[in-house]
Amino acid sequence: MNKSFEGYESSSSGKAVPRSLQVADQLRESILSGGIPPGERVNEVQLSQRLGVSRTPTRAALHALAAEGLLDYETNRGFTVREYSPQSVAEGYEIRAVLEGLACRLAAARPPDPKVTALFEDALALGDDVVAGFEGTTAQMEAYRQSNVLFHTAVITAADNQMLEDTLRLALARPATSLRNIVSFSQNPVRRRHDDHHRIYDAIRAGDGWRAELLMREHVTSVKYNELERRPAR
Amino acid sequence: MNKSFEGYESSSSGKAVPRSLQVADQLRESILSGGIPPGERVNEVQLSQRLGVSRTPTRAALHALAAEGLLDYETNRGFTVREYSPQSVAEGYEIRAVLEGLACRLAAARPPDPKVTALFEDALALGDDVVAGFEGTTAQMEAYRQSNVLFHTAVITAADNQMLEDTLRLALARPATSLRNIVSFSQNPVRRRHDDHHRIYDAIRAGDGWRAELLMREHVTSVKYNELERRPAR
DNA sequence: CCAGCCTAAAGTGCGCACACTTTGCGCATC
DNA sequence: GATGCGCAAAGTGTGCGCACTTTAGGCTGG
């Protein structure tokens, strides 16, 4: 299975990537980016032709995405893109909040690992740079987005738990709940969120799991409220 | 041997269940019950023959279970049963604890729904009966197990959130983390856990999300410690 | 006797064909 | 004009075969 959170499964790795995985990745991307509207039926034959593969790998991908919860499946009727109510999306952030909070608590309980430390410090350093001269340019927003992904990925890595990783990947692979989805790019929210990152890392490093957990919960929950503000009813 | 011995035509619904789903269910059951040891490779052809179906539905099921996290997948090497370290299992309970805690908080925030109320009261009534004259007989243990499943299912239903339901289902579908896995059947633990259930329900009904969340977290966490005690190192 | 290569067997990747189910539309009936 | 009815087209379910990759021995040269 694809083990990256925001991963591009580059075919340049030398390994031949099976079509079934390619189809799964492309389809996932289409769904997450809204390219295929929720509720729409996914036709095996059409999808196969559009992607230039036969039905067999397509079917494998569809079954996988259904197991991930991105698609609904009905016998003899095929797959449809699952719909999530706005309320459901909001509660998706709650899920992220408690799970990433747990990840912080577990991370704080672990002895420091140089590799993990490097991940955190890279993420924070990138964020520091962005925040220093933040003016809201596209490049800066992209850089901040990246530092955000790096930081949250570092937390998950630091927790070092396969099941949590799986569970979180599922929770993150939802429209509008993704890590890439930075809600507000105005200066103060960005500064504040970056400051949160520093505090969370400090708490983890200090072994203060309780503080790290609460900080992360609030950190993610605040994004939920930003999101709700941005799209009041939809 | 195609459709030779399919006696029942799916008694409940009359719908034909696709082989791919049947295979997925059987395989999931085998894995969860330990019938296939962790780390073992799953051979498509052998599995297909054992279940009397062709490779096609088998492949679909394998891809689905891989997406669920029960199997690992490697290109051109196929599927293996995922291994979970004892530590991982322990942290599986942590995941359950925070997620079911969240479910309780959400449930408490909802207006009461008669159907949900009925679910809770059925589960609790069954538990009351069992606890009343508990002697540890097999039938009683089975009944308690059932009341436990019913109660936790009621909580998830009460939270009424598709994403949370998906996420929890995944977290519960793990060896040793399953709801069915009642660790201790001695009298006091059973009484205590059943009392927890009552308190949790009271808190939800009273709209006290904070109390409900904390009670559930402790409730599940205590099972983790029981489990760790029971299988010290392994 | 060991290391490395070479080859055959085993196993996965995937296209394809055909059976069965669902869906949509036109026609007959009331 | 509304309501079924039935048939054909579209779509899913699954068996099957062949190409390509991995794996496991056995053989050969050092």
What is the DSSP secondary structure assignment for residue A38, as one 8-state letter? T
A72 - beta bridge partners? Answer: A80
- What pLDDT does A99 receive? 97
Q: B68 CA to chain A: closest CA distance, Å?
A: 6
Q: Give the pLDDT band (50/70/90) at residue A122.
A: very high
Was domain A11-81 assigned CATH 2.60.120.200? no
Q: Is A9 on the interface with B (CB under 8 A)?
A: no
- Contact in structure between B134 and B187 (CB atoms under 8 Å): yes
Residue A132 has pLDDT above 50, yes or no: yes
- CB-based contact A98 B94, cutoff 8 Å: no
Average pLDDT value for residue range A142-166: 92
Burial class (CB in 10 A: 0-12, 13-18, 19+), A61: buried
- CB-based contact B164 A17, cutoff 8 Å: no
C-alpha dihedral sign at A216, A217, A222, A225:
positive
- What pLDDT does B227 receive? 77
Q: Select from 3.40.190.10, 3.30.420.40, 3.40.50.10090, 1.20.120.530 the CATH code of A86-230.
A: 1.20.120.530
Q: Give the pLDDT band (50/70/90) at residue A183.
A: low
- What pLDDT does A17 receive? 82
- Contact in structure between A151 and A120 (CB atoms under 8 Å): yes
Residue A19 has pLDDT above 60, yes or no: yes
Q: Is A224 on the interface with B (CB under 8 A)?
A: no
Q: Which residues of A touch B60 (CB under 8 A)?
A: 59-60, 63
Q: Which residues of B touch A61 (CB under 8 A)?
A: 63
Number of residues written out for chain B: 234
Interatomic CA distance for residues A108 and A111, integer angstroms: 8
Count CB atoms within 10 A of the CB of residue A2: 16
| CB of A45 lies under 7 Å from some atom of strand D | yes
Number of residues written out for chain A: 234
| CB of B77 lies under 7 Å from some atom of strand D | yes
- Angle A7-A11-A15 from CA coordinates, rounded to 5°: 110
Q: Is B171 on the interface with A (CB under 8 A)?
A: yes
| CB of A56 lies under 7 Å from some atom of strand C | yes
A41 - beta bridge partners? Answer: A80
Top-level class of domain B19-81: mainly alpha
- What pLDDT does B9 receive? 35
- CB-based contact A102 B94, cutoff 8 Å: yes
Average pLDDT value for residue range B113-132: 95
Span B60-81, pLDDT tens digits: 999 999 999 999 999 999 999 9
What is the DSSP secondary structure assignment for residue A41, as one 8-state letter? E
Span A25-49, pLDDT tens digits: 999 999 988 889 999 999 999 999 9
Instruction: Return the SS3 of A6.
Output: coil
Residue B219 has pLDDT above 80, yes or no: yes
Residue A95 CA distance to nucleotide C27 C1' (Å)? 55
Domain ranges of chain B: 19-81, 86-230
Q: Give the pLDDT band (50/70/90) at residue B234.
A: very low
| Residue at shortest CA–C1' distance from C20 | A76
Interatomic CA distance for residues B206 and A100, integer angstroms: 28
Calculate what percentage of chain A has a pLDDT beyond 90. Answer: 62
- What pLDDT does A174 receive? 83
Span B53-64, pLDDT tens digits: 999 999 999 999
Q: Which of A62, A63, A72, A87 to mutate to test the interface with B (most CBs of B within 10 A)?
A: A63
Interatomic CA distance for residues A182 and A222, integer angstroms: 12
